[in-house]
C-alpha cells in the first residue's frame, strides 16, 4: 500500500485528482456561462446544451492543468 504514495504513481494521482475536480468545476463554469447568456436574453435548450459542452471542455483543460502542476510539485518536493 505504501508503494502507491511514491513518485512512480504521480500520474495516477494526477488522473484521480483531475476526475474528482472535473464535475464540480464543470458545474460552476456552466452556471457562470448560463447566467452570462441570460443577461443577454432568453436561452433555449440548444444553447444550454452548447454551453454545457463548452463548460465541459474548459473544465477538463483547467482540471488537467491544475492536477498536473499540483501533483508534480507534491511528488517532486519529497526526499
The pLDDT tens digits for 34-67 are: 999 999 889 999 999 999 999 999 999 999 999 9
Give pLDDT, residue 3. 81
Measure the CA–CA gap between 30 and 58, rounded to whole angstroms: 10
CA-nearest of 58, 61, 75 to 13 is: 75
Q: Residue 2: inside a domain, yes or no?
A: no
Distance between CA atoms of residues 36 and 30, nearest Å: 10
Number of Cα atoms under 13 Å in the Cβ half of residue 33: 19
User: Number of folded domains in the chain?
Assistant: 1
Instruction: Say if 1 falls within a structural domain.
Output: no
Q: Is residue 3 one of the residues assigned to a domain? A: no
pLDDT digits (tens, 9 = 90+) for 1-39: 788 888 888 999 999 999 999 999 999 999 999 999 999
What backbone torsions phi and psi does residue 44 show, to the nearest 5 degrees?
-90, 180
Computed on alpha carbons and rounded to an integer, the radius of gyration of the chain in Å comes to 17
Residue span of the structural domain in which 24 resides = 8-76
Measured distance CA(77)–CA(52) in Å, rounded? 37
Amino acid at each position: 500500500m505504501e508503494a502507491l504514495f511514491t513518485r512512480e504513481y504521480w500520474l495516477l494521482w494526477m488522473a484521480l485528482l483531475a476526475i474528482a475536480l472535473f464535475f464540480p468545476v464543470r458545474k460552476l463554469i456552466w452556471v457562470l456561462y448560463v447566467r452570462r447568456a441570460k443577461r443577454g436574453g432568453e436561452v433555449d435548450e440548444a444553447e444550454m446544451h452548447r454551453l454545457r459542452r463548452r463548460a465541459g471542455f474548459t473544465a477538463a483543460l483547467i482540471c488537467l492543468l491544475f492536477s498536473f502542476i499540483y501533483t508534480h510539485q507534491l511528488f517532486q518536493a519529497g526526499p
